[in-house]
Structure 1
Amino acid sequence: MNKTFDRYASVFFALVGAFFVNGSRQIATSAYGSEVGPNIFPLFLGIILILLSIRLFYETFSYKQTQQEKTAVNIKGFVIMLVATFLYAILLEPIGYVISTFLFLTLGFKVMGNKSWWKTLLIALAFSVIVYVVYVKILEGTLPGLPSWLG
């Protein structure tokens, strides 16, 4: 474990979470015909990101002092995920939430090193569909559906 990297990462992600929370406050609190406004997901994601960042920062103090271990930084994986995140944001409307989230999660799991294609595909599909159903059908929120060219 790289204590310094983890500390900087925790501060960075706490700031990103704070931007999410602040940005969600700029979004209207309710959408027409929806019980849940579009500000709820970014707000909760920001809060979760801040809490996880605080936990990571706290855990860095319990790291054992060992010799300087050099950890390989996966630059290739980082760049792939950065590009995938931008593509996810761009393609969310044109191809819909379920398809874009499924593709994003599948790529993310493979970049993180998941060897099993079946598990990767199953978890990515289940997460995409369950979140869509819960948010749109149960909470009556709005997310981009399937693209019109699918029928």
Structure 2
Amino acid sequence: MNTTFDRYAGIAFFAIGLAFVIGSLGISTSAYGSNVGANIFPMILGSFLSLMSLRLIYETFRRQRAEKGKEDLDYKRFLIIFIAAVLYAYFLEDIGFVISTFLFLMIGFQTMQKGRVWVSLLIAACFSYGVYYLYVNLLDGSLPGFPTWLGGA
């Protein structure tokens, strides 16, 4: 673990999370056909990102160990997940939230740790449908559903 990189990444992600929270305050608090406004997800995710970044910064200061040398960064994994995130955002409207989130999580899980495909399938499926169900049915929000070729609206 490269503590210097983690410290700077934590500071950068804290700033991004804070920008999301501040930016979400300017978004409408209600949306047509939805009881949950468009500002809720950016505010929650920005807060979560900021809190996790603070934790990362804390951990880097707490761990005062000598670095044994320069660690190699894993550019291949980063590139795979970055491309998957870009494709996730691009195809979200076309194939729906549940399918695109499921595929993104599967790619992410298998990129980070190969094997245990059934566990990854179960977690990705439960998470993607669970978040969709909670947001759409319980919070009366709106997310892109299933594509029309699968019987979605």
TM-score, scaled relative to structure 2: 0.92
2:35 is aligned to: 35
Which AA in structure 1 matches 2:93? E
Q: Is the Cα contact below 8 Å between 2:97 and 2:145 reproduced in 1?
A: yes
Q: Is the Cα contact below 8 Å between 1:17 and 1:49 reproduced in 2?
A: yes
How far apart, CA to CA, are the structure 2 residues paired with 1:67 and 1:15? 26
The farther-off stretch of 80-89 and 62-71 is 62-71
1:18 is aligned to: 18
The farther-off stretch of 110-119 and 94-103 is 110-119
2:124 is aligned to: 124
TM-score, scaled relative to structure 1: 0.93
2:78 is aligned to: 78
How far apart, CA to CA, are the structure 1 residues paired with 2:50 and 2:84? 23
The farther-off stretch of 48-57 and 23-32 is 23-32
How far apart, CA to CA, are the structure 2 residues paired with 1:114 and 1:130? 24
How far apart, CA to CA, are the structure 1 residues paired with 2:127 and 2:58? 29
Q: Is the Cα contact below 8 Å between 1:88 and 1:101 reproduced in 2?
A: yes
How far apart, CA to CA, are the structure 2 residues paired with 1:103 and 1:112? 14
Unaligned runs of 5+ in 2: none
CA-to-aligned-CA distance 1:92-129 (integer Å, 9 cap, x gap): 10110000000000001111114200001110000000
CA-to-aligned-CA distance 1:31-57 (integer Å, 9 cap, x gap): 123221121111100000001101110
**How far has the Cα of 1:139 moved from its partner?**
0.6
What SS class does the counterpart of residue 43 from structure 1 fall into?
A: helix
Unaligned runs of 5+ in 1: none
What SS class does the counterpart of residue 143 from structure 1 fall into?
A: coil
1:48 is aligned to: 48
How far apart, CA to CA, are the structure 1 residues paired with 2:55 and 2:67? 24
The farther-off stretch of 57-66 and 21-30 is 21-30
Aligned residue pairs: how many? 151
Which AA in structure 2 matches 1:85? A
**How far has the Cα of 1:17 moved from its partner?**
1.0
Which AA in structure 2 matches 1:90? Y
What SS class does the counterpart of residue 119 from structure 1 fall into?
A: helix
Which AA in structure 2 matches 1:21? V
Q: Is the counterpart of residue 63 in structure 1 residue 63 in structure 2?
A: yes
Q: Is the Cα contact below 8 Å between 2:21 and 2:42 reproduced in 1?
A: yes
